[in-house]
């Protein structure tokens, strides 16, 4: 088995978009619709407005996560690990890279929006020190939305 490597990536790279499509398909299975209608663009993850990262094993992308500026905060977006890579610590490593990047950019906090049909994501965030905050994002008025933050 190849070693897992995390690298910065452009959000609009075809391989990255394929992985993001997998993430949205999974969200669609859980929540219906497109999976996530939050407006997101490649420019959101281009410096200085944010960064995007992928985890790979050999030539295969197995995870992704990025952050974008949201006021004074860094907003975590598109956090995903492929089913075959779950349980390997990929998500935890990606989250740490996102946090380090946001901290290096001068952000004092990472915020995120998730849903109650993602118990494994909620468990990860809570185990990494994220705490509930008032809902803030695109889905802030929707039933089942959960928002979290962690001071860096």
Q: Across-strand partners of 103?
A: none
Cα(73)–Cα(88) distance, integer angstroms? 28
Q: Where are the domains of the chain?
A: 4-151
Cα(98)–Cα(79) distance, integer angstroms? 10
The pTM of this model reads 0.95
By the 10 Å C-beta count (0-12 exposed, 13-18 middle, 19+ buried), 9 is classed as buried
Instruction: Give domain 4-151's CATH superfamily.
Output: Gcn5-related N-acetyltransferase (GNAT) (3.40.630.30)
Q: What is the pLDDT of residues 8-30, one digit of tens each?
A: 999 999 999 999 999 999 999 99
Q: What is the pLDDT of residues 100-150, one digit of tens each?
A: 999 999 999 999 999 999 999 999 999 999 999 999 988 898 899 999 999
């Amino acid at each position: 088995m190849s070693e897992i490597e995390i690298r910065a990536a452009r959000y609009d790279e075809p391989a990255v978009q394929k992985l993001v499509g997998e993430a949205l398909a999974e969200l669609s299975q859980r929540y219906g619709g497109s999976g996530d209608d939050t407006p997101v663009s490649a420019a959101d993850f281009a410096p200085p407005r944010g960064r995007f990262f992928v985890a790979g094993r050999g030539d295969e992308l197995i995870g992704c996560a990025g952050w974008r500026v949201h006021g004074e905060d860094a907003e975590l977006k598109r956090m995903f690990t492929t089913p075959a890579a779950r349980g390997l610590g990929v998500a935890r490593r990606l989250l740490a890279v996102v946090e380090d990047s946001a901290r290096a950019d001068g952000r004092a906090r990472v915020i995120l929006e998730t849903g109650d049909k993602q118990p494994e994501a909620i468990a990860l965030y809570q185990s990494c020190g994220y705490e509930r905050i008032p809902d803030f994002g695109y889905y802030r008025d929707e039933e089942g939305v959960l928002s979290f933050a962690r001071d860096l």
